[in-house]
Amino acid sequence: MPSSPLSSSCPHPAAGSLPLAVRVRRRALRTTGAALFGLGLWTIAALAVEALRGIPFPAPWDCLQELLRLLGGATFLEFTLYEHVGASCLRWLSGFLLACTLAVTYAGLALISPLFRSVSLPTVEVLQLIPGLAWVPVAILLFGLGQAATISIIVLTTFPILTLSVLMGFSCTDRDLVRVGRMCGCTPLDLFCTVFLPSALPHLLSGLRLGVGSSWRVLIAAEMVTGSGEGLGFAIIQSRWTMDYVSAFACIAVIAVIGLCLERCLFLPLERHTLRRWRGEA
């Protein structure tokens, strides 16, 4: 999910001059080393818990075997792993897209009306300070137990992050471009679509990366308490009743893999490409 400053820092200036095979080999070694380090800590923790407390703790090999079984189509809490993943991803995508739409709409209204912005922005800033799980009782009161409550928690958690990122991008827009657009006869909508929104894109992408991490985490937590009936969070919390902790750890591994794929394979490359284009680099 959101990368640390060290992991997302710019590469060494000489890295670009290295042959492609060397860069690929170094990246593979770093990835392998990070994976082995994490698995090593997991194994040590499992052995320590079993030695100190005398209870079995799922080890990496046990979870890998269970994960392969689930990937083979075995059912877990009346659904396959693919159905749990699909349900979680659908809820996340619905809430995240709704939050993006509301954030851009609000930012556009705040851009048009300074009065609206000055009155409503403090509320948005307060919303950002509230942890996602704090919205659980509010969501249950409004929508009851089920999918609507989970989606509303995602929206309430993600909306202020995206909104403040877009507004920051709008405030950094070159005013000369705005004046040129007005001289060319651009309407406010044209200025928003062709000047303000492209200028805010780098900030928006940074907000999207933060929003993805926050929304994905709160989705899993919300599924544990809103009685969704299926999904990765629901599967993890329900496994406590059957004492099936190996399957729960397998679901946790799936959550981590999906989050890493969203972060490293989608948003991080998109953000880097956009920043290069925005700075006029090749």
Rounded CA-CA distance 133/130 in Å is 8
Regarding whether 209 and 132 lie in a shared domain, the answer is yes
Q: Counting beta carbons within 10 angstroms of the beta carbon of residue 258, is it exposed (0 to 12), middle (13 to 18) or buried (19 or more)?
A: middle
Position 222 scores a pLDDT of 87
At 70-119, the pLDDT tens digits run 888 888 877 888 988 998 999 999 999 999 899 988 988 887 888 988 89
Q: What is the pLDDT of residue 94?
A: 92
Q: Name the 3-class secondary structure at 79.
A: strand
**Region at 145 (left for phi over 0; alpha for psi -120 to 50; beta for the rest):** beta
Query: What CATH number is attached to the domain comprising 113?
Result: 1.10.3720.10
- Among the ranges given (32-41, 134-143, 170-179, 255-264), the one the predictor scored with the smallest mean pLDDT: 170-179
pLDDT over threshold 60, residue 16: no
Side chain identity, residue 212: V
Indicate the pTM of the whole model: 0.77
Residue 17 confidence (pLDDT): 61
Average pLDDT over residues 162-180: 79
Q: Residue 59 and residue 45: Cα distance in Å, rounded?
A: 9
Q: pLDDT at residue 264 above 70?
A: yes
Looking at the chain, the whole-number percentage of residues with pLDDT higher than 70 is 89
Report, as an integer, the average pLDDT of 161-168.
87
Q: What is the pLDDT of residue 278?
A: 61
Element (DSSP H or E) covering residue 97? helix 81-112
- Degrees to nearest 5, angle at CA 29 with 28 and 31: 65
- What type of residue sits at position 152? S
Q: Residue 2 pLDDT > 90, yes or no? A: no
Instruction: Quickly count helices (H) and strands (E) in the chain.
Output: 12, 2
Q: Which tokens go with 159?
A: 């909306």
Same domain? For 87 and 40 the reply is: no
Q: Is residue 68 part of a domain?
A: no
The pLDDT value given to residue 281? 47
Higher pLDDT, 110 or 18: 110
Structure tokens at 76: 């877990």
Token pair of 205, please?
């992408």
Range of the domain at 23: 1-55
As for how many domains the chain has, the answer is 2
Cα distances from 244 to residues 57, 58, 231, in angstroms, run: 11, 10, 16
Confidence at residue 227, expressed as pLDDT on a 0 to 100 scale: 67
Please list, in sequence order, all residues whose beta carbon lies within 8 angstroms of the beta carbon of residue 148, skipping any fewer than 6 positions away: 139
The pLDDT of residue 156: 92
Average pLDDT over residues 172-196: 73
**127 and 226 share a domain?**
yes
- Residue 18: pLDDT band (50, 70, 90) is low
pLDDT higher than 80, residue 270: no
Pairing of strands 79-80, 75-76: antiparallel
Bridge partners, 79 (sequence order): 76
Residue 70 lies in a domain: no
Residues 248 and 177 in one domain: yes
Nearest to 128 by CA among 169, 101, 161: 161
